[in-house]
Structure 1
Amino acid sequence: MATKKEATKKNKQQDVRHHVKTFWKIFLGFILVFILFFLLASWGVFGSLPDETSLENPEKNLATEIISSDGKTIGKFYKENRTPVSFDSLPDHLVNALIATEDARFYEHSGIDGRGTLRAFAFMGSRGGASTITQQLAKLFFTDQRASNKLERLTQKVKEWIIAIRLERRYTKEEIITMYFNEYDFLNQAVGIESAANIYFDKPPSQLTTSEAAMLVGMFKNSSLFNPNRRPELVLKRRNVVLSQMEKYNYISEKVMDSLQALPLDLKYTPQGHDEGSATYFREYARSFMENWIKEHPKLDGSNYNIYQDGLKVYVTIDSKMQEYAEKAVKKHMAHLQEAFDDQNKNNKTAPFRDITEEETESILNSAMRKSDRWRQMKKDGKDEEEIIKSFKKKVAMRVFSWKGDIDTTMTPLDSIRYHKSFLQAAMMSMTPQTGEVKAWVGGIDYKHYKYDMVKKGRRQIGSTFKPFVYATAIDQMHMSPCDTLPNTIYTIPAGRYGLLKPWTPKNAGGGYGGMVTLKYALANSINTITARLIDRVGPEPVIDLVKKMGVNTENMPAVPSIALGTPDVSVFEMVGAYSTFANEGVYVEPILIQRIEDKNGTVLYQNVPKTKDVISNETAFVTVSLMEGVTQSGSGSRLRGTGREGSPIYKNAVTGYPYNFTNPIAGKTGTTQNNSDGWFMGMVPNLVTGVWVGGDDRATHFRSTGYGQGATMALPIWGMYMKSCYADKDLDVSTGNFKRPANLSIETDCSKWRQGNPDIEEIPDEFDF
């Protein structure tokens, strides 16, 4: 018979076995429940999961890229600024930084890290989470935002595990890493590593340094928290943590880690918003082109392409470097020019307008008010006119433009209209005449505040830049030479001729009559009486026919002799195309902007075919170019040679007013319109033609004197700065040689002997150029 002590021991043993059995039942039950929960989730009981097709080809919004002729992305159209890259485009140190920081055993697990999961359970997440890169990708791809309660979060986590396992079965490790980099939102409109590298460091992912790669990988933890634009110090610390992880797992040495951790972030923030970045006006043109193109070129299934999500690639003719040089030249000159303009308006009661009445000023402002976005929106919202006008006179907080950066201020919308009209505008286009490829396009001074594109949409009087067309017609019709002479005297075209209601007697700006002058001298000094004689000899109609063949819209160009002095309104786009005909031996090539369009798989959808037209003989073209070379040798363009007068009303602190010192052949023409409202310069070298216009939004916005308001002062410096930069960049190969001389040239172009024989001719000052 067992003793009491033995019975107690036996009972304890039975209790232990019972507890063990209970533990295993609970544990197995938990496992079964978890497996059941896992199965139910995989069957879609807790919400649908993506099918195999979705995993194989996930639907994503892909940005359309605008790619320059030198291979740089200069803009995008997107809902999400995402452009996928391949694994080969990811440098090793970028991949290593990700693995070292986010998932050290990435190549060892199959989607779920068992060791990491057990550690997370054991220490309740205090020693780090257990999400693998694959799980994080699953979350980015297929799950909703963070769950609102623990049960939903558990369900979501199980879904992530299921999807992660499926992803591992279907994709290689390299593909998973690539998708993760392509999907993550790095903020500031940088979705995916390609956008992030370009926006934060202005370079493609393949060129990222180890330090830069570490910073971007550090953002994976929480891009909102580690935002370089808002918390650079915090981001720097996070970057150094990533570098420490890379050293821990032997991707870099301790010495390298120490040196990299000592570096600053060295951001080169380059936003890619629609209103920011490079070539903003051109990008808007490209958007309009694409929207029209997709209407006429549907997909094979009949649906239309979407430029915001189909990942198209638009290859354009713009050169990113030349575009940068053009924008810098406009910005530098216009900031100085604006200072001079503001200085002249200090005592002008009607500023920024001049030579108009208060009633005319009010009319300009009221017209602008009715054309504003604010007016259109309020009208759309059902507001009556009286209420809208009252709102324009009530002060509100706003951001306005200045050359030193945008200003946050408070003013009435009507005052802001007047304020923004006080800024002079500029437009510029540069083109290769032999191919028609447009290399630079600046449609205004600031796209964010001034949306209207003055390169193609804007049309302004062109002044003396029209005169070469008159000379070219005379050369073509009458075989005239630059050395032929005409009397520099008052000339009148009588009433009745060309439908004139009264006699037309143009005057030379600043006088300067007398003697016989060559055509070359006359064009160089923009002598109006000579141009009047020429257009009377050839007639206005042939001149209009010529410029029409050169791509100028002549629909509203009257066939009257006054067009010879530049009364027609023409765009910069048309002028550059027309002048390119002279540089291209008489052949007009329609300006090209879009070279080709590809879909996201690289299939060519559109290929531009150049459109050309023989307009004049190569002899006529060369002789006209020779005439325009005289403008930069002895006329108003001579300041490009560094021979302009000392000092400058714009660059007061400069040693010399126009220190360009070009020595190579340059053909060009300045132009100034009535009251100095518009300043032009058209400049050509053999393989590059560039046009520049400067003026106000309204013709009443102008300088009070020709010394400031002429094309040689307003527009020519932009050309000079731009070309200096282009010549300094040897990769661009901008010509410094002579224009091509025709083999059969029969017209004399060297007038030096005539000048030597006529020493008494008085040159007209370059300030007077109409």
Structure 2
Amino acid sequence: MLEKVFKILKNKWIKRFLVLLAAVFVFFVGLYFSIYLGFFGKVATIEELSSIKQEEATQVLDMDGKLIGKYYIYDRQPLKFEDFPKHLIDALLATEDIRFYEHDGIDNVSLMRVFVKSILLQDRSAGGGSTITLQLAKNLFGRKNFIFFSTVINKFKESIIATRLETIYSKTEILTMYLNTVPFSDNTYGIESAARKFFNKPASELTINESAALVGSLKANNYYNPRKYPENCLDRRNVVLNQMVKYHYLEPEAKDTLVLKDLVLDYRSFNHDLGVAPYFREEVKKELAQILDSIKKPNGDKYDLYKDGLIVHTTLNYKMQQLAEDAMKSHLSQLQKDYEASYGKYAPWKKDKQLIENAYKNLPKYKTLKELGLSKSQIEDSLSVKHDVELFSWEGDTIMQVTAKDSLKHFLKFLNTGMLAVDPASGAVRTYIGGIDYRFFQYDHVTQSERQVGSTFKPFVYATAIEQGMDPCTYFSLAEVTYSNYDDWTPSNSGGKEDDPHLNYNLEKALSHSVNTIAVKVLNKTGITNVIEQTKKLGITKTLPEEPSLALGVAEINLKELTGAYTSFSNKGRSVTPYLITKIEDREGHVIATFNPEVGEQAFSEYTCEVMLEMMKSTVNFGTASRLRTVYNLKNDIAGKTGTTQDNKDGWFVGISPKLVTVTWVGNDNHGIGFKTTAMGQGANSALPIFAKFYQKLNADAEFNAITRAGFSKPSEKVVNDLNCEPEKRDSFFQRLFKGKKRTKKFKGN
């Protein structure tokens, strides 16, 4: 027998094969030890593996702890083992590593099976020899590209790390780390992030079907992406369910029932451009960048917003935000249609060559090419090339081949909006809408935009007058007055016809009907300087124009400051600064920063506050905002003020209730384009309906009863008495006899 063996070994081909086999063996052994010694890059030591800290996404939570967004490089959220449902673990083991509890990181039995079936028998269904621990090693440290043998080198590295992991951690800890780091579809890392993204629920609430689908997608997370390729995902889910039956984790009857069910996604993207409250999340991110710049970790390092797994608690009410966004979309989609129809074929974004040219030259691409030294004709040639552009539409976005100018004209036509709703006692922001769609319009109309505020400024004028002692029953004539010391400026009232110069309104009717001529007269009597000082006490930091047109709201103020100023009327004369973040925790749940309401000084007395509320209630009940009652049938306790600016460029509405102050603005981003008519552009038509529809939705949900059913306190007896006068009166015969139709005088309000 030995002679036969020796004879075979003497065969030159056998000798060559054995030498080759030995050389290959020596090569791979040498390669293994060179990798072990770090010749191909450092391999994580036991000490380093003992203190693994993975990058974690910062979570943004609403006021009730609901996840509304994340900031991350890799979208990852860690869980504890007890948070995983048992059927999730069963599906994972049945599909990825049935011998997980028997091997020490490398499954030699599976490797032998792969060698025999895949290599010798060419059976493609044999599966792989990778274990969960090997996959964890890959998830933790990734793979590098080498000139030769990249796959082998990376596999050897992973096997070394896997055996070290098995000596440090228990099987439960390895499963926990694996499920917290494994990559799923759509750049999502960890089962918790995947569960929230694809099914809008925590991993602990995943059903068997949902768990099987997510585990199944690990084989090829793009091909089995539940969002992009639902049929592929469904087929793979069924494979996982069959594996669970095969290894006795699931009864065949239960599997037969499950495979008949469709996979229902509830997809939630936490990308900044998508999802609920994108403008709010972006503003929170900006604030966090400043906050974290001044906070240090215990070791002195700075916190990293994208890697350190911070937990940011905010003031936003997720459900209320959804209702606000629904209300905005419902109104703006219809208003846009009416707006375009009113202009027809003569729309400025189509026909106003100068306006289009100015906007064209402000395009970032145009400016870049100009800075590069290109001539106007060269820039035109470059920007005249058609390319695929995604175009926003309320009916649904489309991708079209257009030039830069075509794209500009398309986006020039859209009305935009800003909306903020805050708790007037604290300034906590409950809803925040910075525009109609963050994907296309990233300019924030809450904090970045400054627009003329129109008649929403008038309550500050009237409040100053009352605070200085003006009787609420003071009467002013509707008559137009020309102010000679201001270029013969003659403010008039809206409507196009001159009012009866012999008719006089008290302050309540003048404000509730937003009479321009009287607002300027009240400012004249009160003093511009006094009004400006009053607005500073209310938190308005913008330098205001010292001219009589201030009474009509020519000042450009951002929506956030305007909202803060208006909280004073529901907060006994003290304004509060709208704020977004309540506290920040580190990944361990330790509070590293807290934030409290910023309440302003006593800007005016409770008496003034009560008078102003009664006057703005009249605005809603009988004045310019009365459609809240007549059209939208709102019965809530509401005070308010509409606002419209010159040439119908801006429409405003401020809604004040005991528990919520809401400000809405609507207009075109291009200041050269206003509404075609005042009837369409006035705040009562353009901005008020967003508030109205929002409140209708709040009224329909009992969860918000504490807000919608809250009532204003009864005004004091003095306030009731001081407002108890006829809203208007006519001049007597002798007054009419000696009063001219028009008067010219100097404005003395300084």
Q: Normalising by structure 2, what TM-score?
A: 0.88
CA displacement 1:118-154 (0-9 Å, x = unmatched)? 32223226422222111111122235158887x5434
The residue correspondences of 1:510-525 to structure 2 (distance < 5 A) are 510-511=496-497, 512-513=499-500, 515-525=503-513
Tell me which amino acid in the other structure corresponds to 1:415. Answer: D
* Compared CA separation, residues 384 and 676, structure 1 to 2 (3 A): same
| C-alpha displacement of 1:741 | 4.0
Residue 42 of structure 1 deviates from its aligned partner by 3.1
- For residue 492 of structure 2, the aligned residue among 488, 499, 506 is 506
- SS of aligned partner of 1:734: helix
Question: In the superposition, relative to structure 1, how do residues 246 and 599 fare at CA in structure 2: closer, same or farther (>3 Å)?
Answer: same
**Bigger Cα displacement from structure 2, 732-741 vs 26-35:** 26-35
Aligned to 1:246: 244
1:97 corresponding residue in structure 2? 91
Aligned to 1:737, which of 695, 710, 734?
Answer: 710
Would you say 1:639 and 2:627 are equivalent positions?
yes
Q: CA deviation at 1:277?
A: 1.9
CA deviation after TM superposition for structure 1 residue 709, in Å = 1.3
Counterpart contact for 2:492–2:516, Cα < 8 Å: yes
Residue of structure 1 aligned with 2:457, choices 462, 466, 474: 466
Q: Equivalent of 1:674, from 619, 630, 646?
A: 646
- The CA deviation at 1:106 is 2.0
Confirm or deny: 8 A CA contact 1:623 1:749 kept in the other structure. no
| Cα deviation digits, residues 748-768 of structure 1 (max 9, x gap) | 17968847999xxxxxxxxxx
Q: Does 1:390 align with 2:378?
A: no
8 Å contact from structure 2 (residues 349, 412) kept in 1 = no
Query: Alignment partner of 1:224: what SS?
Result: coil
Select the residue among 572, 593, 618 that pairs with 2:606: 618
Q: Aligned to 1:278, which of 276, 280, 288? A: 276
Q: 2:283 aligns to what SS in structure 1?
A: helix
Q: Report the CA distance between 1:242 and its aligned residue.
A: 1.4
What is the CA–CA distance in structure 1 between the aligned matches of 2:523 and 2:91, rounded to whole Å? Answer: 72
Aligned AA for 1:535? L
Helix, strand or coil at the partner of 1:314 = strand
Out of 388, 391, 416, the residue aligned to residue 425 of structure 1 is 416
1:593 aligns with one of 570, 580, 596: 580
Q: Report if aligned partners of 1:490, 1:507 keep a CA contact under 8 Å in 2.
A: no
Letter in structure 2 aligned against 1:663: K
Shift in CA distance, 755/529, structure 1 to aligned 2, threshold 3 Å = closer
Structure 1 vs Structure 2 CA RMSD: 3.1
Deviation string 1:190-216 (CA, Å, 9 cap, x unpaired) is 222232222212222223222212111
- Return the alpha-carbon distance in structure 2 between the equivalents of residues 42 and 18 of structure 1: 40
SS at match of 1:704: coil
Match of 2:46 among 52, 75, 78: 52
User: Partner letter of residue 605 of structure 2?
Assistant: S
Q: Is the 8 A contact 1:352 1:701 kept in 2?
A: no
Which letter does structure 2 place at the counterpart of 1:243? L
For residue 30 of structure 1, report the CA deviation from its aligned partner: 10
1:477-492 → structure 2 map (5 Å cutoff) = 477-478=468-469, 480-481=471-472, 484=473, 486-492=475-481
Which residue does the alignment assign to 1:766?
A: none
Q: Distance in 1 between matches of 2:189 and 2:596?
A: 35
Q: Distance in 1 between matches of 2:371 and 2:282?
A: 24
Determine the C-alpha separation between the residues in 2 that align with 1:382 and 1:196: 48
**AA aligned opposite 2:683:** G
Deviation per residue, 1:210-244 (Å, 9 max, x gap): 22121111111110221223321111110111122
Aligned mate of 2:73, from 63, 71, 79: 79
- Contact 2:58–2:309 (8 Å) recurs in 1: yes
Name the residue aligned to 1:173.
171
Structure-2 residue corresponding to 1:761: none
Residue in structure 2 matched with residue 130 of structure 1 by the alignment: 129
Contact 2:620 2:626 in 1 (8 A): yes
C-alpha distance in 2 between matches for 1:579 and 1:218: 54
The equivalent residue for 2:59 is 65
**Is the aligned partner of 1:630 residue 2:618?**
yes
Per-residue deviation at 1:628?
0.8
The CA distance in 2 between the partners of 1:376 and 1:253, in whole Å, is 67
Measured in 2, the distance between the counterparts of 1:588 and 1:633 equals: 25
Aligned to 1:690: 662
Question: Partners of 1:222 and 1:145 in 2: how far apart?
Answer: 20
Q: What is the aligned residue count? A: 715
Q: Retained in 1: the 8 A contact 2:339–2:676?
A: no
Aligned residues of 2:428 and 2:580 also touching (Cα < 8 A)? yes
| CA distance, structure 2, for counterparts of residue 249 and residue 215 of structure 1 | 18
SS at match of 1:266: coil
Q: Which amino acid aligns with 1:285?
A: E
- Describe how 1:225-304 pairs up with structure 2 within 5 A: 225-299=223-297, 303-304=301-302
Task: Name the counterpart of 1:747.
Answer: 719
Task: Quote the Cα distance in structure 1 between the aligned partners of 2:23 and 2:365.
Answer: 67
Q: Which amino acid aligns with 1:536?
A: N
Classify 1:417/1:351 alpha carbon distance in 2 versus 1 (closer, same or farther; 3 Å). closer
Question: Could you tell me how far apart the structure 2 residues matched to 1:433 and 1:475 are?
Answer: 22
Paired position in structure 2 for 1:5: none
CA drift at 1:117? 2.6
3-state SS, counterpart of residue 443 of structure 2: coil
Q: Distance in 2 between matches of 1:143 and 1:487?
A: 77
Superposition pairs of residues 342-491 of structure 1, within 5 angstroms: 342-348=340-346, 350-351=348-349, 358=352, 361-362=353-354, 364-378=355-369, 383=374, 386-478=377-469, 480-481=471-472, 484=473, 486-491=475-480
**For the structure 1 residues 40 and 738, does the alpha-carbon distance in structure 2 shift closer, same or farther, using more than 3 Å as the test?**
same
Displacement of 1:597 after TM fit?
A: 2.2
* Superposition deviation, residue 554 in structure 1: 3.4
5+ long unaligned stretches in structure 1: 1-11, 644-657, 759-770
The match for 2:746 is: none
Which region of structure 1 is more displaced relative to structure 2, 511-520 or 674-683? 511-520
Aligned-pair identity (%): 37
Amino acid at match of 2:495: A
Task: Give the Cα–Cα distance (whole angstroms) in 2 for the partners of residues 376 and 219 of structure 1.
Answer: 45
**Contact 1:508–1:529, Cα closer than 8 Å, also in 2:** no
Matches of 1:47 and 1:349, distance apart in 2: 65
- Stretches of structure 2 that go unaligned for 5 or more consecutive residues are 731-750
Counterpart pick for 1:495 among 484, 488, 511 = 484
Following the alignment from structure 1 to structure 2, what is the Cα–Cα distance between the partners of residues 246 and 745? 76
Deviates more, 1:256-265 or 1:290-299: 290-299
1:678 deviates by: 0.9
- In the alignment, which residue of structure 2 is the partner of 1:577? 564
Name the CA distance, whole Å, in 1 between partners of 2:470 and 2:348.
50
Task: Quote the Cα distance in structure 1 between the aligned partners of 2:310 and 2:367.
Answer: 33
CA contact (8 A) 2:639 2:657 kept: yes
Q: Aligned partners of 2:723, 2:230: CA distance in 1, in Å? A: 65
Please tell me whether the aligned partners of residues 419 and 665 of structure 2 are also in contact (alpha carbons under 8 angstroms): yes
CA contact (8 A) 1:143 1:160 kept: no
Matched-pair contact (CA < 8 Å) for 2:144–2:154: no
One-letter code aligned to 1:576: T
State the match for 2:737 in structure 1: none
CA distance in 2, matches of 1:185, 1:80: 9
Q: In the alignment, which residue of structure 2 is the partner of 1:107? A: 101
Note if contact 1:428-1:455 (Cα within 8 Å) is conserved in structure 2: yes
Do 1:188 and 1:271's aligned partners in 2 also have CA atoms closer than 8 Å?
A: no
Contact 1:619 1:745 in 2 (8 A): no
**Distance in 2 between the 1:92 and 1:753 partners?**
74
Per-residue deviation, 1:392: 2.7
| Residues 189 and 272, structure 1, Cα contact 8 Å, conserved in 2 | no
Amino acid at match of 1:531: A
1:462–1:568 CA contact under 8 A, matched in 2: yes
TM score, norm. by length of structure 1: 0.86
Conservation of the 8 A alpha-carbon contact between 1:184 and 1:192: yes
Post-superposition shift, 1:379? 5.3
Indicate the residue corresponding to 1:538 in structure 2: 526
